[in-house]
Amino acid sequence: METLLTVDDLKISYKSGNYYIKALDGVSFEIKEGESLAIVGESGSGKSTLGMAIARLLPPNAIIEKGRIVMKDIDILNSKPDSIRGKLISMIPQEVGTALSPFHKISTVFEDVMASENKATNILNEASKILAFLGFKDPERILKSYPHELSGGMLQRVLLALAIIKRPYLIIADEPTSMVDAPLRINIVEILNAVRKEFNISMIIITHDIAITPHLCDNIVVMYAGKIMEYGKAKEIIDNPLNPYTKLLINSIPRIKTATRFEVIERKNTQIQFYKGCPFADRCESFMKGICDITIPRYTSLGNRKVLCHLYNDKK
Ligand SMILES: Nc1ncnc2c1ncn2[C@@H]1O[C@H](COP(=O)(O)OP(=O)(O)OP(=O)(O)O)[C@@H](O)[C@H]1O
Ligand SMILES: [Mg+2]
């Protein structure tokens, strides 16, 4: 399989007054064509920042300090955002409630999105077909609606339709299951899988809900404090997590099922800005004094797996 997307040593900070907040700290991974990747990790670990960087949707106070993002030989970070957004990569944002203008009908939003495309196809016909594929019984009514007339789950599917209509190579869905109740979560997982098959689009699914990832994704990136702690095949990671942080995430799965967010895990200082050793050292069950607190761990490759942890640094 050919490589679709390469993220290489990405470092991003946000400027906030006189401070700089480190959001991504040397993130590298690859997605092959047709593959789907989950990005998991608790609040503040840098998941949305990573998604927004790839989709060229970072806010103005974000500073890309280092790194490259390449898709199909296109240097994403040095291209015009308009040549990327929607065409190559679409992102469904975390806050779907504020993603669409309250003054425009859904039909107008589809027409605006397609305005630059010069396509001969009937846009609203095409939108209606995609909405029907996504499970809407009466797509015409949805097209005539304003955003406030739709529920969070409906808006999510409308935004998915808007993401699909230009047929990008990659769709990034930020917390697609957080707006909906448990039964609908399964529904969204099924819809995302169907979209992937039908439209042959790769996906990045950003989620707190590690439990859904093997049903949706081939690979998982586990993030903590802006770093990838573990990266590998979804099923292998869930069955046999190596990094102590991944173990903690997976052990909390039964509780995650009743919570939409990750507050179940005690949070001390996820947004650690200054640490000498491993960012997870102060919360780690396998903490080794004199090593984890003073030396930055290196990545170790174990089969398909990449893991950032001193426990594995000497094992191959
Ligand atoms: N616009 C911003 N300005 C300043 N700091 C920001 C901004 N957006 C994010 N941050 C900070 O960057 C870090 C990473 O945030 P990010 O939103 O990427 O995390 P996340 O993993 O998506 O969290 P969540 O699960 O809560 O959505 C955090 O420390 C956060 O406070
Ligand atoms: Mg986020």
Tens of pLDDT, residue by residue over 49-68, are 999 999 999 999 999 999 99
- Total residue count of the chain as it appears in this document: 316
How do the domains of the chain map onto residue ranges? Answer: 3-88+168-312
Handedness of CA 3, 74, 21, 175 (dihedral sign): negative
CATH T-level assignment (fold) for domain 3-88+168-312: Rossmann fold (3.40.50)
Residue 76 has pLDDT above 80, yes or no: yes
Give me the mean pLDDT over the 32-39 stretch: 94
Ligand 1 lined by 59 (C-beta under 6 Å): yes
Give the number of whichever ligand sits closest to the CA of residue 39.
1
What would the pLDDT profile of 174-219 be if each residue is shown by its tens digit?
Answer: 998 876 666 677 788 889 999 999 999 999 999 988 888 988 999 9
Closest C-alpha to ligand 1, atom 12: 23
Confidence of residue 33 (pLDDT cuts 50, 70, 90): very high
What is the reported pLDDT for 74? 96
Ligand 1 atom 17: residue of nearest CA: 48
Q: What does the pLDDT read at residue 211?
A: 83
Of the listed ranges 262-271, 276-285, 305-314, the one predicted with least confidence: 262-271
Q: Which residue has the higher pLDDT, 254 or 135?
A: 135
Rounded to 5 degrees, what angle do the CA atoms 110, 113, 116 make?
130
**Kind of pairing between the strands at 219-224 and 36-40:** parallel
pLDDT at 119: 63
Question: What average pLDDT does the segment 276-288 reach?
Answer: 93
Q: What is the pLDDT of residue 218?
A: 95
Residue 47 Cα to ligand 1 middle (Å): 8
Long-range CB contacts for residues 128-131, cutoff 8 Å, separation at least 24: 130/161, 130/164, 130/165, 131/157, 131/158, 131/161
Q: How far is the CA of 302 from the centre of ligand 1 (A)?
A: 30
Quick check: 172 and 204 in contact, CB under 8 A? yes
Residue among 95, 94, 96 at smallest CA distance from 150: 96
- Collapsing DSSP to helix, strand or coil, 100 comes out as coil
Distance 46 CA to ligand 1 centre (A): 6
Q: Which two tokens stand for residue 243?
A: 């990094």
100-104 mean pLDDT: 92
How high is the pLDDT of residue 272?
A: 46
Residue list, CB under 5 A from ion ligand 2:
48, 94
Sequential DSSP letters for 154-222: HHHHHHHHHHHTT--SEEEEESTTTTS-HHHHHHHHHHHHHHHHHHT-EEEEEES-GGGHHHH-SEEEE
pLDDT score recorded for residue 267: 43
Among protein residues, the one with the nearest Cα to ligand 1's atom 1 is 59
Dist. CA 208 → ligand 2 center (Å): 9
Residue 265 has pLDDT above 60, yes or no: no
Question: In this predicted structure, what is the pLDDT of residue 94?
Answer: 85
Q: Check pLDDT > 50 for residue 314.
A: yes
Q: What is the pTM of this model?
A: 0.91
Residue 259 reports pLDDT greater than 80: no
Name the pLDDT band for 85 (thresholds 50, 70, 90): confident
| Position 264 pLDDT exceeds 50 | no
User: CB under 8 Å to 64, separation ≥6 — which residues?
Assistant: 10, 11, 12, 53, 58, 77
| Range of weakest confidence among 36-45, 109-118, 125-134, 294-303 | 109-118
The whole-number average pLDDT for the span 105-134 is: 87
- The closest-lying atom of ligand 1 relative to the alpha carbon of residue 49 is 18
Q: What Cα–Cα distance (Å) separates residue 83 from each residue in 86, 89, 111, 116?
A: 8, 10, 18, 11
Report the pLDDT averaged over residues 108-115.
89
